[in-house]
Structure 1
Amino acid sequence: MSTSTETTGTRAPRAATAGRRKAAGGGPRRVRRLSRRDKIVLAVMVGVPTLIQLLLIWIPTLLSIFLSFMRWNGLSLADIKAAGLANYAYVFNDSPAFWPAVQHNILWLLFLAVVATPLGLLLAVLLDQQIRGSKIYQSVFFIPVMLSLALIGIIWQLFYQRDHGLLNFLLGTAGTPQAVDWFGDSSVNIWAAMVAATWRHAGYVMILYLAGLKGVDPSLKEAAALDGANATQTFFRIVFPAMAPINIVIVVITIIESLRAFDVVWVINKGTNGLELISALVITYLVGEGQSIGIGSAFAVILLVISLVPITIYLSRVFGKEKKP
């Protein structure tokens, strides 16, 4: 009798548990088939972005690669003729602006890496100290990031004007023969353009590093303080290494920004007179005075190949970490 009672008492909780699981949806579920409306919504959500990617990125990229081996003036499809590697030979051997443009792009990269990126990091560290009005400062420094580089070029033209610019006014040379033509003088205009680009790039780096600083475990800082490390030692030995993923992203962004720099120099003088950049040469040959679709496409393909190097390194590191157990 006691055994029967125990068995009944054991089954009762099991039955109750099974009932609760069933009520909670723990039992076998039916796979819901997609309705026709669901399929249409999914097709639109996947198809529209894919179509945009094809029209604006992949098709133009493939056409650029194809046209870089052709000779074409851009007027009639009947005038397209095979050129082989002639366009690339012209770029590397005969183009008077290519190697100066390469030098300027390297200089642009070094300036962003040595000046703009550390400046953004400094702003992030200062604003991470919970100072009064930090949100306002963040907004002020981030505003240039929301502006296009073309608009930034126009704004800095007002700052750099020879006769009425703010900089020459502050130097006391505005309207005098001693006034510096910051954008017209080929010996200084590249530096003036890079300062304008830094104004935008530093704000972008600041936001990324602020996000990275918020993600650092506070216990690491506390442990460093208990070990007797000061604020500088804690940052460079604990905090900065802990932001390794952010550092990689910023390195890639800095390289890409230096390669895609175009708007500022094009607004200033269409990328001439000391402001030659590879991106500006692409447009110069595609739609400018020296129009040659094949040569312009060759410049674009060279820029694409150079840009793929940091992107490939970044993606290989990211996916390599995901594969590790």
Structure 2
Amino acid sequence: MALTFPRRAGRRRFTRRDLVVLGVLLGIPVLLDIAVVWGPTLASIGLSFTAWDGIGDIHWVGGDNYANLADNYPPFWPAVRNNVLWLLFLGLIATPFGLFLAVLIDRGIRFSRFYQSVFYMPVVLSLAVVGFIAQLVLGTDQGALNTIIGNRDDPIDWLGDSRLNIWMMMIAASWRHVGYVMILYLAGLKSVDPALKEAAAIDGAGERQTFFRVVLPTLRPVNVIVGVITVIEALRAFDIVYAVNKGRNGLELLSVLITDNIIGEASRIGFGSAIAVVLLVVSLGSIVTFLVQELRGARQT
């Protein structure tokens, strides 16, 4: 009996209709990405070297906007400092705390579902709403915190004191950030192979050694996502400080300065674009540095 083999399928040719559909499905997202993301980005870079009020003629000024930022614009360096401080606070305190909560809930502690819902609840709120809640808690007039600590007659000005308000706002923003990080790490912990933990236990590793040498390295993809999100959340913070005092009196951020210069009464679009370029460079620099470190760690392991 002769054996018959199926004929090898030939190379499929795309019809004209297939090419049209493929072009539409790929072309529309690419055009939207160019129009919404890269178009404004390149326009901001170009406008940062000009003086323009949005109505009159555009005048080329070269690097004068950047020189004025560094030398003649007092809010700039406090805003840079606050943005860096915001990034360090979220990256070194809020993010590790979110990981800690994820580890506790992953161990199946009692009422873990309840804790998971409670900690995730602030994530569904915008930072503007978080700012309004912070005003209710930290306000001098019948604020909850001053009432609890008994400072009704001489309340602490948590939001008006420039030495305190930036810390209060970072804590309020962390309230939302921690829940987001917790959910991401919790999903990553659920995907860790239990056999790895069992093998580590057989080799005599304790819980701490197992976590840092076995579990945490397997969470590297989640670490990348969390790191990028942390940088983005720290540098784009705007809503919460603008809701409290419009980003002034100790709450200056680069995003607030961009808004004040571009859509404010001054309408200094070129100058505001220069601030936006500085924020872009800081954002990309932080993200690229973090990704390079993570990729190096992945290759070494």
TM-score by length of 1: 0.84
SS of residue matched to 2:121: helix
Partner of residue 119, structure 1? 97
Aligned equivalents of 2:156, 2:297: Cα separation in 1: 51
Q: Which letter does structure 2 place at the counterpart of 1:254?
A: T
Larger Rg: 1
Q: 1:36 to 1:200 in 2, by over 3 A?
A: same
Unaligned runs of at least 5 residues, structure 1: 1-11
Residues 1:260 and 2:236 aligned together: yes
Q: Is the 8 A contact 1:249 1:314 kept in 2?
A: no
Deviations along 1:252-293, one digit per CA (max 9) or x if unpaired, are 332232211111111111211000111111111111244311
The residue that corresponds to 1:44 in the other structure is 24
Secondary structure of residue in 1 paired with 2:118:
helix
Aligned to 2:258: 282
C-alpha displacement at 1:314, in angstroms? Answer: 5.0
Greater shift after overlay, 49-58 or 219-228?
219-228
Aligned length: 300
- Cα deviations across residues 24-64 of structure 1 (Å, max 9, x unaligned)? xxx22244444454334323321221222122111111110
Which of the pair has the greater relative contact order for Cα pairs under 8 Å at 6+ separation? Answer: 2
Residue type of the alignment partner of 1:54? I
Match of 1:160 in 2: 138
Instruction: Kindly provide the amino acid, as one letter, of the partner of residue 294 in structure 1.
Output: G
Find 2:39's aligned residue among 59, 64, 70: 59
Pick from 242, 266, 269 the counterpart of residue 218 of structure 2.
242
Residues 147-188 of structure 1, C-alpha deviation per residue, up to 9 Å, x if partnerless? 222222122222222212222222222xx3311222222121
Matched, 1:293 2:269: yes
Shift of the 322–187 alpha-carbon distance from structure 1 to 2, 3 Å rule, reads: closer
- Matching of residue 193 in structure 1 with residue 169 in structure 2: yes
State the partner residue of 2:75: 97
Letter in 2 for 1:219: A
2:279 aligned partner, one-letter code? L
User: Cα RMSD (Å) of the superposition?
Assistant: 2.5
Amino acid at match of 2:190: K
Q: Percent identity of the aligned residues? A: 53
CA distance in 2, matches of 1:314, 1:229: 29
User: Offset of 1:319 from its aligned partner?
Assistant: 7.6
Q: Say whether the 8 Å CA contact 2:184–2:222 is kept in structure 1.
A: yes
CA contact (8 A) 1:69 1:82 kept: yes
How many Å separate the matches in 1 of 2:128 and 2:17?
43
Match of 1:218 among 194, 215, 222: 194
8 A Cα contact 2:227 2:290, kept in partner: no
Whole-angstrom distance in 2 between the partners of 1:134 and 1:41: 47
CA distance in 2, matches of 1:255, 1:295: 24
**How do residues 9-88 of structure 1 correspond to structure 2 at under 5 angstroms?**
12=1, 15=3, 18=4, 22=6, 27-76=7-56, 79-88=57-66
Q: Distance in 1 between matches of 2:298 and 2:170?
A: 37
Against the structure 1 CA distance between its residues 66 and 210, is the aligned structure 2 distance closer, same or farther, given a 3 Å change threshold? same
The change in CA–CA distance for 1:264 and 1:90 in structure 2 (over 3 A counts) is same
Normalising to structure 2: TM-score of the pair? 0.90
| Aligned AA (1:268) | V
When residues 312 and 232 of structure 1 are mapped into structure 2, their CA distance, relative to the original with a 3 A threshold, is: closer
Segment drifting more, 133-142 vs 272-281: 133-142
What amino acid is aligned across from residue 257 of structure 2 in structure 1?
A: L
Structure-1 separation of matches of 2:11 and 2:104: 53
| Closer/same/farther in 2, CA of residues 191 and 47 from structure 1, 3 Å limit | same
Deviation per residue, 1:68-95 (Å, 9 max, x gap): 011011223xx21111111010011111
Change (3 A) 1:315 1:33: farther
Within 2, Cα distance between the matches of 1:131 and 1:309?
A: 39
Measured after TM superposition, the shift of residue 105 of structure 1 is 1.2
Alpha-carbon distance in 1 for matches of 2:209, 2:12: 57
Question: Matches of 2:212 and 2:294 in 1, distance apart?
Answer: 23
Query: Against the structure 1 CA distance between its residues 114 and 169, is the aligned structure 2 distance closer, same or farther, given a 3 Å change threshold?
Result: same
Q: Is the 8 A contact 1:105 1:277 kept in 2?
A: yes
